[in-house]
Amino acid sequence: MHFNTRSHAGKLLAKTLAKFLTKKYPDMDAVIYALPRGGVPLGFEVALALGMPLDLIIPRKIGHPFNAEYAIGAVTENGDTICNETELAKLDSDWFKQVRKEEMAEAKRRRKCYLSGREPVAVKGLLAILVDDGIATGLTMRAAIRDLKNRQPDKIIVAIPVIPSDTAKLLSSEVDDIVALQIDPLFQGSVGSYYQYFYQLSDEEVIRQLNQLDENNKPAR
């Protein structure tokens, strides 16, 4: 399965998620959490279709010093950290501490930039749905899950267009459910491979979409 754009994938994901929620969690209030930047267009479409509030969880990938695209860890704005311990053992610990600090600062900058002081949506006792444009290693999503658990939702669902089957198996032990349009045993190597148009979103594009949230943090066209 391939997708035209992130918005296209978000609309498809919303339909699948709506059926899943109706069947398994028909009476639970939920909050959609997008992972910026790429997850925001999908989170917006899902929240819009389901009439749910939208908020952000902001993990930052920590790339290998010799290959930035290869994730060896991830950290959230609150310091929750997930690492590939095998790779980390081969690297300088001072380098990792410095990069972790820089990425935490970037996550905090993004919250301030994107949400302009908007208060986080209360999710304690509710259903939390994490949305991104896809998952590869799962490190950033696992950091997001750890951050979200501190907010004490009753249930956590990961909703994504595509995920490798081995990563799905790993994540399934950390959340209540995974809703995916495609769980691929032969993952193509990158999330972008599943999209016709896949580019780096700017801060301005994210802000423009989040500015469409009403006073209840629900999206409007």
* pLDDT tens column, 79-102: 989 998 898 889 999 999 999 999
* Mean pLDDT value across residues 204-209: 96
Residue 82 forms part of a structural domain:
no
The pLDDT of residue 118 is: 86
Answer whether residue 148 is part of any domain. Answer: yes
| Residue 94, domain member (yes or no) | no
Domain membership of residue 91 (yes or no) is no
Residue 44 in domain = yes
User: How many folded domains does the chain comprise?
Assistant: 1
72 is a domain residue = no
* Structural domain boundaries, residue 205: 6-55+110-210
The answer on pLDDT for 67 being more than 90 is no
17 by Cβ neighbours in 10 Å (0-12 / 13-18 / 19+) ranks as buried
Q: For residue 117, what pLDDT is reported?
A: 79
pLDDT of 31-43, one tens digit each? 999 999 999 999 9
Whole-angstrom distance, CA of residue 62 vs CA of residue 76: 11
Q: What is the pLDDT of residues 14-37, one digit of tens each?
A: 999 999 999 999 999 999 999 999
CATH code, 137: 3.40.50.2020
Residue-level pLDDT at 201: 95
Q: Is residue 167 part of a domain?
A: yes
